[in-house]
Chains A and B, each alone.
Chain A
Amino acid sequence: MPHPWIPNSAPEIKERMMKELGIESIDELFSDIPAKYKLNRLLNVGLGRPLSEYEVKKVFKEKLGKIAKLDNAPFLGGEYCVHYVPEVVKLVLRRDEFYTAYTPYQPEINQGILQALFEYQSLMAELYGVEVVNASMYDGSTALAEAIRMALRITRRRKIVISRGIGPLKLDVIRTWLRGLDVEISEVSLSQEDGTTSYESLEDLVDSRTAAVVISNPTFYGSIERRVDDIAGLVHSRGALFIVFSDPISLGVLKAPGDYGADIVVGEGQPLGLGVYYGGFTLGILGTRREMRFVRQLPGRLVGLAPTIGGGDRGFALVLQTREQHIRRERATSNITTNSALTAIAAAAYVMYMGGEGIRRLSRSILARTVYFLGKVRAELKGKALPLFARASYFKQVPVAFPGHDYNEVFKKLLEHGIVGGTPLGRYDSSFNNVGLFCFTEMHSRSLIDDLVRVLKEVLG
Chain B
Amino acid sequence: MWRQSRWDEGIVPLKKGIRGLSPLIPYEHEFEDVDVDGAIPRELKRDELRIPSYSELDVVRHYVRLSQESYGVNTGPVPLGSCTMKYNPKVADIVVHEEIEQLHPDLPEEYVQGLLEILWELEQWLKEITGMDRCTFQVPAGAAGELAGVLMIKQYHALRGEKRDEIIVPDSAHGTNPASAAMAGFRVVTVPTANDGNVDMDALRSAVSEKTAGIMLTNPNTLGLFEERIEEIARLIHDVGGLLYYDGANLNGILGIARPGDMGFDIVHLNLHKTFASPHGGGGPGGAALCVKKELEELLPRPLLVKKGNHYYWDYTCSRCIGSIRVYYGNIPAIIRTYLYILSLGPQGLREVGEISVLNTNYLVKRLVSSGYYDLPYGTRPRKHEAVLSAARIRRDTGVTAEDIAKALIDRGLHAPTIYFPLIVEEALMIELTETETLYEIEQYAEALIEIARKAYENPEELKKMPLNTTVRRLDLARANHPKRLVLSTKYLMKEVMEKG
User: Which residues of chain A from 274 to 293 have any CB-CB distance to chain B below 8 Å in the complex?
Assistant: 275-283, 290, 292
Which A residues, 24 to 68, have Cβ-Cβ distances below 8 Å to chain B? Answer: 26, 28-34, 36-39, 42-51, 53, 56-57, 59-60, 62-68
Q: Of the candidates B282, B342, B477, which one forms a contact with A345 in the assembled complex, judged by CB atoms under 8 Å apart?
A: B282
Interface code A109-138, partner B: CB below 8 Å = 1, 0 otherwise? 111110111110111011100011101101
Contact of B347 among A45, A335, A362 (CB under 8 A): A45
Contact B53 A420 (CB under 8 A): no
What are the interface flags for A445-461 relative to B under an 8 Å C-beta threshold, 1 for contact and 0 otherwise?
11000000000000000
Q: State which of B201-209, B451-459, B485-493 sits at the interface with chain A.
A: B485-493
With most chain B CB atoms within 10 A of its CB, the pick from A28, A60, A92, A317 is A60
B178 with A329: CB separation less than 8 A:
yes
Report how far A255 CA is from B107 CA in the complex, Å.
32
Known: A94-B96, A118-B489. A442 touches B473 (CB 8 A): no
- Per the bound structure, the CA–CA distance linking A92 and B66 in Å amounts to 10
- Evaluate contact between A112 and B473: CB separation under 8 angstroms: no
- Complex alpha-carbon distance, A278 and B114, angstroms: 12
Q: Compute how far the CA of A76 lies from the CA of B108 in the bound complex, rounded to whole angstroms.
A: 11
Interface string of B12-38 (1 = CB under 8 A from A): 110001001111011110111011100
Interface flags for A357-391 (1: CB within 8 Å of B; 0: not) read: 11111101101111110010000000000000000
Decide: A305 near B480, CB < 8 A? Known: A7-B436, A138-B285, A278-B100. Answer: yes
Instruction: Given A42-B256, A295-B488, answer yes or no on A6-B435 (Cβ-Cβ < 8 Å).
Output: yes
> B415: which A residues are within 8 A, CB to CB?
102, 106, 109
A117 to B488, CA, bound (A): 10
- Asked if A50 and B344 sit within 8 Å, CB to CB, the answer is yes
Query: From residue B289, how far is it (CB to closest CB) to chain A in Å?
Result: 13
Provided the pairs A39-B258, A97-B70, A104-B282 are in contact, do residues A427 and B355 lie with their beta carbons within 8 angstroms? no
Within 8 A of A (CB), among B150-205: 150-151, 154-155, 174-176, 178-186, 188
Closest to A311 in B: B476
- With A100-B72, A320-B481, A368-B31 given, is the CB distance from A224 to B467 under 8 Å? no
Known: A18-B359, A115-B69, A278-B112. A335 touches B471 (CB 8 A): no
* Residue numbers in B under 8 Å from A303 (CB-CB): 488
CB-CB under 8 A from A62, the residues of chain B are: 114
Q: A364 near B489 (CB under 8 angstroms)?
A: no
Are B43's CB and A226's CB within 8 A? Answer: yes
Task: For the complex formed, measure the closest distance between the CB of B368 and the CB atoms of chain A, giving whole angstroms.
Answer: 13
Q: Hey, which chain A residues are within 8 Å of B23, CB to CB?
A: 86, 353-354, 358
Determine whether A180 belongs to the interface, using a CB cutoff of 8 Å to chain B. yes
Contact at B328–A280, with CB atoms within 8 Å?
yes
A239 to B471, CA, bound (A): 46
Contact residues in A for B74 (Cβ distance below 8 Å): 96-97, 100
Q: Is the CB of B44 within 8 A of A31?
A: no
A28 engages B101 (CB within 8 Å): no
The yes or no answer to A334 lying at the interface (CB within 8 A) is yes
Q: Does B117 contact A (CB under 8 A)?
A: yes
Instruction: Find out whether the CB atom of B439 lies under 8 angstroms from the CB atom of A8.
Output: yes
Shortest C-beta distance, B170 to chain A (Å), equals: 12
Q: Does B210 have its Cβ within 8 Å of any Cβ on chain A? A: no
CA distance A370 to B35 in the complex (A): 11
For residue B70, which residues in chain A have a CB less than 8 angstroms away from its CB? 95, 97-98, 101, 104, 109-113
**Cβ-defined partner of A276 (8 Å) among B40, B83, B104:** B104
Given contacts A46-B347, A224-B40, contact A21 B475 (CB under 8 A): no
Collect the chain A residues with CB atoms within 8 Å of residue B64's CB.
91, 95
**Contact status A253-B12, CB under 8 Å:** no
Measured in the bound complex, the distance between the Cα atoms of B114 and A253 in whole Å is 39
Complex partner residue of A79 from B43, B174, B327, CB under 8 angstroms: B327
Q: Is the CB of A276 within 8 A of B359?
A: no
- Decide if A341 touches B283 in the complex (CB within 8 Å): yes
Report whether B473 and A309 are in contact in the complex, using a CB–CB cutoff of 8 Å.
yes
Q: Check if B67 sits within 8 Å of A365, measured CB to CB.
A: no
Residue ID in chain A nearest B86 by CB atoms: A5
Q: In this assembly, does B497 line the interface, its C-beta being within 8 Å of a C-beta of chain A?
A: no
Name B72-103 residues within 8 Å CB distance of A: 72-75, 78, 80, 83, 85-89, 91, 93-97, 99-103
* CB neighbours of A65 from chain B (8 A): 114
Q: Judge if A319 is at the interface, Cβ distance under 8 Å.
A: yes
Closest beta carbon of chain B to A329's beta carbon, Å: 4
Selected A-B contacts with CB under 8 Å, 17 pairs: A6-B435, A8-B360, A30-B382, A42-B351, A46-B347, A60-B336, A99-B279, A101-B73, A102-B282, A109-B467, A109-B471, A118-B489, A139-B327, A254-B46, A308-B475, A339-B284, A354-B22
B500 at the A interface (CB under 8 A): no
Residue B449 at the chain A interface, CB threshold 8 Å? no
Whether the Cβ atoms of A97 and B25 lie closer than 8 Å is no
Flag whether B240 is at the interface (Cβ < 8 A): no
Stretch at the interface among A154-162, A171-179, A399-407: A171-179
Q: In the complex, what residues of B have CB within 8 A of residue A18's CB?
A: 359
- Contact A330/B179 with A103-B280, A179-B323, A309-B473 known, Cβ cut-off 8 Å: yes
Q: Which of A432-446 contact B (CB under 8 A)?
A: 442-446
- Chain A interface size, as a band, is 35 or more
Contact, CB under 8 Å: A59 / B259: no
> Is the Cβ of A280 less than 8 Å from the Cβ of B143?
no
Q: Is the CB of B185 within 8 A of A108?
A: no
Q: Is the CB of A108 within 8 A of B467?
A: yes
Residues of B within 8 A of A97 (CB): 67-68, 70-72, 74-75
B492 touches A112 (CB 8 A): no
Report the minimal beta-carbon distance from B90 to chain A, rounded to whole angstroms.
Answer: 8
> B49 — which chain A residues lie within 8 A by C-beta?
126-127, 251-252, 356, 359-360
Q: Is the CB of B258 within 8 A of A112?
A: no
Given A313-B472, A445-B26, A3 and B66 contact (CB-CB distance below 8 Å) = no
Q: Which of B89, B104, B115, B330 contacts A63 (CB 8 A)?
A: B115
Q: Is A185 an interface residue (CB 8 A)?
A: no
- Sorted nearest first, the 9 A-B pairs with minimum C-beta distance are A355-B53, A279-B328, A66-B114, A342-B281, A341-B283, A100-B72, A176-B323, A112-B69, A358-B22
For B413, give the chain A residue with the smallest CB separation: A109
Contacts of A343 in B (CB 8 A): 281, 284-285
Distance of A306 Cα from B479 Cα, bound (Å): 7
> Does A417 sit within 8 A of B, measured CB to CB?
no
> A371 touching B360 by the CB < 8 A rule?
no
User: Is the C-beta of A82 less than 8 angstroms from some C-beta in chain B?
Assistant: yes
Contacting pair B332 A278 (CB below 8 A): yes
Q: Note all chain B residues with C-beta closer than 8 A to A80.
A: 104-105, 328
A342 to chain B, nearest CB (A): 3
Please tell me which one of the listed residues A6, A105, A275, A337 contacts residue B349 in the complex, with CB atoms under 8 A apart.
A6
Q: Are B25 and A122 in contact (CB under 8 A)?
A: no
B67 — which chain A residues lie within 8 A by C-beta? 92, 95-98, 112
A302 → B minimal CB distance (Å) = 6
Q: Which of A13, A94, A309 contacts B474 (CB 8 A)?
A: A309
